Amino acid sequence: MARAVPFRHFLARRAWLARLIVIAALFALWEVAARWFVDPLFLSPPSRVIAALDTVFSTRGVPAALQLTLFELTVAFVLAVAIGLMLGLAVGLQPFVRRSFFPIVLLLYGMPQVTILPLFILFFGIGAASKIAFGVTHGVFPIVVTVVAGVQNLKPILLVSARSMGASRWQIFRHVIFPHMVPSFFAGMRLGMSGVLLGVLLAELYVSIAGIGYFTTLFTQNFDPTKLLGLVGVLAAMAIVLNAVVRRAETHFARWRTG
Amino acid sequence: MMAGKEDRKRDRDALMSRIVQAGFLAGLILIWYLASTRWGVNRLLLPDPVAVYDNLIDILRSGEFIDDLEITLGELAAAFAISVTSGVTLGYLISRSPYAIEVFEPLFAAIYAIPIILFLPLFVLFFGLGPASKIALGASISFFPVVINTIAGFGHVDRLFVTAARSMGASDYHLFRHVLLPAALPVILTGLRMGFTTALLSIIGSETLASLAGLGHRIVHLAEAMDMARMFAYIVFVIAIAVILNTIVSTLEARGKRN
């Protein structure tokens, strides 16, 4: 039996290889579909998309657009983390404040923010500011919620004992609250990151004069699926990598709990 | 005696929280009112709340929202039906083998990290500006939380239960109905709730970005016409619809978990 299926045994111990095969099969399916079955105005095969990647990036304005979008993402993420951390601590540290304001935070978090996207454009213009603002409002709520959750399961006895041993406010924050918050804070950062990504991209796609949204619209209107897929594919790959990096950081900083 | 005192203190605290919450919201509306009527904020940026209220009443009374609401809810129902059937079926099939879980789970998790809204231009290219592109986008976005949670639910049922049921002679159907399903249901229900919320968000979002009808389209249309009071009224209306739908789904989830 074992000799009859050596390849399966080989695969059985290497799940990543099977995963690669699945990905390759999907790409092959896409290639076949695009080459022979779908109108080339709407879909182009992956081989052509990959071959055309350099023409996408040498299109005038595309590198600058990627840079601008990355800039928007970075600023929005930094702001979301800073604001989220401050709001989360302000709401979470006092039980009474938490009971009063946390439901309001959850209520706001549950709202479909995309309905107010046109307002952001009206308030902040069609430039980078509106994308950053929309990214911040998407990213800030998951961070607030996880920070509140993180300080909530802090044992009061730790605070009391630190205070009775004469720790200052800063020392309590630095050595008691902060280490306790770290694991959930990183989970919040990951959620916040995908929120920021969603917010910035939504605003980009809604209206854009220089970011990647401008070029996705341009390529769509020119019926140029090769370039569109190239651009979108690169961004998707970036999102996967970013997420993996933050997830790594999350497990790295949560080590002290178990180890 | 002590317990009674504690209870009373807790009741009073809860009441105080409610008062603070109500006060906070009332303060916000008051600031909004003063800003738009007294402090000279431009009406094109911030209409006064009374006008918004009048418009909201007018919208509700005239019933002009019904067409858009029908379209949006129809898209939502179709997208959610597709993602639930495909997500639960595929998730169940994958969860039957630990090896398949190992191969597919990271794949789904990686794709889940991509903001799929990026592909909206492609969806529009394929399916046009009508409801079809919204259904396709909503279904593909909400597919991932459903399938990931289904795999997690079915895949992590304690082997002991399965072995015990088997050794007592349970058939495949009995095993599924009385062991696997009850154990997996809470996790799957969470996935369904997440899928529903993301489907709702992405459908309203894609209506905002590119469409011919629906609630999201209506808001953009009013924004472009600079009819701010009515636009705010529609935003309030859509948020109310979203809150109602999310509350219903969360209640169903909680009820399903209890059984």
* Count of CA atoms in the C-beta half-sphere (13 A) of B165: 17
Tokens 């080459």, residue located: A35
Residues A17 and A121 reside in one and the same domain: no
Residues B33 and B149 reside in one and the same domain: no
> Residue range A169-178: average pLDDT?
81
Conformational region of residue B128, where left means phi above 0, alpha means psi within -120 to 50, and beta covers everything else: left
Residues A126 and A228 reside in one and the same domain: yes
Cβ contacts (< 8 Å) between B24 and chain A: which residues? 100-101, 104
Asked if the Cβ–Cβ distance from A100 to B24 is below 8 Å, we say yes
Number of helices (H), then strands (E), belonging to chain A: the values are 14, 0
What is the number of domains present in chain B? 2
Residue A23's domain spans which residues? 6-37
Question: Residue B115 to residues A92, A235, B233: CA-CA distances in angstroms?
Answer: 30, 9, 29
Asked if the Cβ–Cβ distance from B110 to A244 is below 8 Å, we say yes
CATH number, residue A120 = 1.10.3720.10
> Of the candidates A111, A217, A236, which has its C-beta nearest B118's C-beta?
A236
Of B192 and A170, more confident: B192
Asked if the Cβ–Cβ distance from A198 to B117 is below 8 Å, we say yes
Chain B nearest-CA distance from A175, in A, is: 30
> Residue range A102-129: average pLDDT?
85
**Residue A258 — very low, low, confident or very high, per pLDDT cuts 50/70/90?**
low
Asked if the Cβ–Cβ distance from B14 to A216 is below 8 Å, we say no
Among residues A220, A144, A221, the alpha carbon closest in space to that of A181 is found at A144
Contact present, B12 and B197 (Cβ < 8 Å): no
First to last CA, chain B: 37
Residues B107 and B213 reside in one and the same domain: yes
Q: What is the pLDDT of residue A131?
A: 92
> Of the candidates A96, A112, A205, which has its C-beta nearest B201's C-beta?
A112
> Of the candidates A101, A114, A205, which has its C-beta nearest B201's C-beta?
A114
Q: Which of A41, A106, A115 to mutate to test the interface with B (most CBs of B within 10 A)?
A: A115
> Of the candidates B117, B119, B242, which has its C-beta nearest A112's C-beta?
B242
Tens of pLDDT, residue by residue, chain B (259 residues): 455 677 777 788 778 888 888 888 888 888 888 887 777 777 777 788 888 888 888 888 888 888 888 889 999 999 999 999 999 999 999 988 888 888 888 889 888 888 888 888 888 888 888 889 999 999 999 999 999 999 988 888 878 888 888 888 888 888 888 888 888 888 889 899 999 988 998 898 888 888 888 888 888 888 888 888 888 888 889 888 888 898 898 888 888 877 6
Structure letter (DSSP) for residue A116: G
Q: Is A119 strand, coil or helix? A: helix
Which residues 6+ apart lie within 8 Å of B52 measured at CB?
B229, B232, B233, B236
Asked if the Cβ–Cβ distance from B208 to A118 is below 8 Å, we say yes
Asked if the Cβ–Cβ distance from A101 to B20 is below 8 Å, we say yes
Residues B106 and B169 reside in one and the same domain: yes
Residues A90 and A162 reside in one and the same domain: yes
Residues B99 and B217 reside in one and the same domain: yes
Residue B24's domain spans which residues? 2-41
Residues B91 and B175 reside in one and the same domain: yes
Tokens 């072995």, residue located: B163
Structure letter (DSSP) for residue A126: S
CATH number, residue B247 = 1.10.3720.10
Instruction: Tell me whether residue A1 is in a domain.
Output: no
Q: Which residue of B has its CA nearest to A20?
A: B103
What is the number of domains present in chain A? 2
Residues A96 and A158 reside in one and the same domain: yes
Asked if the Cβ–Cβ distance from A110 to B13 is below 8 Å, we say no
Chain A nearest-CA distance from B91, in A, is: 16
Residues B36 and B74 reside in one and the same domain: no
Residues A78-90 pLDDT 10s: 999 999 989 988 8
Give dist(CA A30, CA B209) in Å, integer. 27
Helix H or strand E encompassing B183: helix B181-209
Residues B37 and B115 reside in one and the same domain: no
Q: Which of B73, B209, B244, B245 to mutate to test the interface with A (most CBs of A within 10 A)?
A: B209
Residues A12 and A74 reside in one and the same domain: no
Asked if the Cβ–Cβ distance from B208 to A239 is below 8 Å, we say no
Question: Residue B214 to residues A44, A170, B77, B134, B232: CA-CA distances in angstroms?
Answer: 31, 52, 14, 10, 16
Give dist(CA A212, CA A68) in Å, integer. 8
Q: How many CB pairs under 8 A join A and B?
A: 132
Cβ contacts (< 8 Å) between A206 and chain B: which residues? 208-209
Question: Residue B237 to residues A108, A114, B55, B102, B219: CA-CA distances in angstroms?
Answer: 15, 13, 11, 44, 10
Cβ contacts (< 8 Å) between A236 and chain B: which residues? 114, 118-119
First to last CA, chain A: 42
Give this complex's ipTM: 0.79
> Of the candidates B45, B119, B126, which has its C-beta nearest A123's C-beta?
B45
Instruction: Tell me whether residue A12 is in a domain.
Output: yes
pTM above 0.90, yes or no: no
Asked if the Cβ–Cβ distance from A235 to B121 is below 8 Å, we say no
Residue type present at position B152: A
Residues B22 and B145 reside in one and the same domain: no
Among residues B74, B195, B90, B66, the alpha carbon closest in space to that of B134 is found at B74
Contact present, A44 and A225 (Cβ < 8 Å): yes
